[in-house]
Structure 1
Amino acid sequence: MASCTSGEYEESKTKKGWVKSNKTQTTKSGIKYQVLLRKKNSNKLSSGLNVTYHQVIRNHKDSILSTTYPYGPKKQIPFEGPYFLGYYKEMFQMLSEGDSVHFTVPCNLLISKKNPQLPSFLNKNETIRYIIKVLKIESRDAIKKELEKNKQAQLEIEDKIIADYLAKNTSISPQKTPEGFYYSIDQKGAGKKPQGGDTVSVHYVGMLLDGTVFSSIQKGETFEFPLGQKPPAVIPGWEKALTLMNKGSKGTFIFPSHLAYGNKGSQDGVPPNAVVVFNVELVDVK
């Protein structure tokens, strides 16, 4: 057997309250499976619940086709959602929280009306093997509460980061808005204030707190976009920030991550959960 993915065979040691088995069984559709490790009295997967799990897929030669282990587990997928159909649903409906299971699936079961052809690297007469570790089964309410708890914790972390930044940069004396971002109008213009439906043109520089510039449009060109567009053309913080400016104004805006690029960051070099600073000039309002 080829070398194992890190974490793939954690089930090799039996812990108290767990049952270890290598017995091969077969589902109604012909999928062979082994429950390598099962936790006694654990939550069983059913409609209305979400599942978080690791998955490794290997071909008949035991080469890895895909794995979640280097990237983190699949997250909070609804069991009754479109991801779980056919043989995949049949596999998962037998699982409980903590289970470690191997499934051997004939490749011809991968063929469907939606996917009438196999990928070029698979043959319908071959099999593929799924190695699945169920990490957590939980309700939507539990997930919602956990997300809200994590969001609040992140807000508190970023409030401290912004406070430390302002303590070191005393030339900035911004106000905090109810939405949670900070702003300072450094040069007040005499023109119109934009509102939803207006098209605005701006110059701007976007920076991380260490001064690293990740995006910039300055003199010679402008960035033009409509306010209030669905989906938004800009980060959430900008939608509110620009309504605080008159045409001709220049301002500094400090956005926590939930009003900027969130927990994913951006391809421009903004890390996940990053506080960002924008220097903005409102050039025109139409």
Structure 2
Amino acid sequence: MRSILFIIFVAFIFFVSCKSPEARRPVKQASGTFIEASAERNKKIFESEKSQIEALINADSTLNYKSSDSGFWYHYVTKDTLTSQKPVLGDKITFTYNVKKLDGTVILSEEENGLQQYKVDQSNQELISGIRDGIKLMKVGETITFLFPSYKAYGYYGIDNKLGTNVPIQSTVTLKSIEQPIEN
């Protein structure tokens, strides 16, 4: 009798111990309402900025603005039609740029920024994504004015005591030189 109870007990332990562990469920499940609300708010901000930029473009019909695939607009101040070389990954470039509000108020002048050196797509330099993308459209000697929505500019953070949050900007960039890396 004891041996039967012992066998049943061992079989029961074996059966219970073979059960796979169950995942613990969260006590409180949060919905995605914050993320959904944030996405909706950002869409409204972008639409508002886009309408401001389009109003600026429509107000000056003498300039031929183009829309980029990266989400900004630009026009050439000085265009080079002879050269075809544009900066590519790893090129070291020098350029100047300024930052203005859409109404033309200067936030950062070329003198404040100075001559910038940047290694295309390989530098941790504190450049806004709009300028990093815009430079790739340029040739040496060209000057382009870019119109950036805030998400391509300084976005939520702005510039301390100079530019508020979610403000679209314009920036005029002049590409001075392109230096290709020496390959081994």
TM-score, normalising length: structure 1: 0.48
CA 1:249–1:152 in structure 2 vs 1: closer, same or farther (change >3 Å)?
same
Decide which structure has greater strand share: 1
Q: Percent identity?
A: 25
Following TM superposition, by how much is the alpha carbon of 1:155 offset from its aligned partner in structure 2, in angstroms? 1.0
Which residue matches 2:14? none
Partner residue, 1:285: 178
What CA distance in whole angstroms lies between the structure 2 residues aligned with 1:258 and 1:196?
23
Which residue among 102, 105, 110 is the counterpart of 1:209?
102
What letter matches 1:148 in structure 2?
A
CA distance in 2, matches of 1:48, 1:147: 21
| SS state at 2:118 partner | strand
- Length, aligned pairs only: 150
- How far does residue 171 in structure 1 lie from its aligned partner after superposition? 3.2
Question: C-alpha displacement at 1:203, in angstroms?
Answer: 1.7
Out of 139, 158, 165, the residue aligned to residue 56 of structure 2 is 165
CA contact (8 A) 1:215 1:268 kept: no
User: Aligned to 2:130, which of 216, 228, 237?
Assistant: 237
**Alignment partners' CA distance in 2, 1:47 and 1:182:** 48
Structure with the higher fraction of residues in helix conformation: 2
User: Quick one: higher RCO (CA 8 Å, sep 6+), 1 or 2?
Assistant: 2
- TM-score, normalised on structure 2? 0.72
- How far apart in 2 are the matches of 1:160 and 1:184? 18
Equivalent residues in 2 for 1:12-23 (5 A)?
Answer: none
Q: 2:155 aligns with which of 259, 262, 284?
A: 262
Q: 1:196 to 1:143 in 2, by over 3 A?
A: farther
Displacement after TM superposition at 1:259 (Å): 0.2
User: Which deviations, in whole Å up to 9, do the C-alpha atoms of 1:237-279 show, x marking residues without a partner?
Assistant: 1111001001111111000000000022112612211110111
Q: Residue in 2 aligned with 1:128?
A: none
Residues 202 and 145 of structure 1: CA distance in aligned 2, closer, same or farther (over 3 Å):
same
Structure 2 unaligned segments of length 5 or more: list them.
1-25, 180-184
Report the CA distance shift for 1:267/1:48 in structure 2 as closer, same or farther (over 3 A).
Answer: farther
Q: Whole-Å Cα distance in 2 between the matches of residues 268 and 200 of structure 1? A: 30
Does structure 1 conserve the Cα–Cα contact (< 8 Å) formed by 2:157 and 2:164? yes
- 1:244 aligns to what SS in structure 2? coil
| Aligned Cα root-mean-square deviation (Å) | 2.2
Q: Within 2, Cα distance between the matches of 1:48 and 1:230?
A: 43
User: Whose radius of gyration is greater, 1 or 2?
Assistant: 2
Gaps of 5+ in 1: 1-45, 50-137
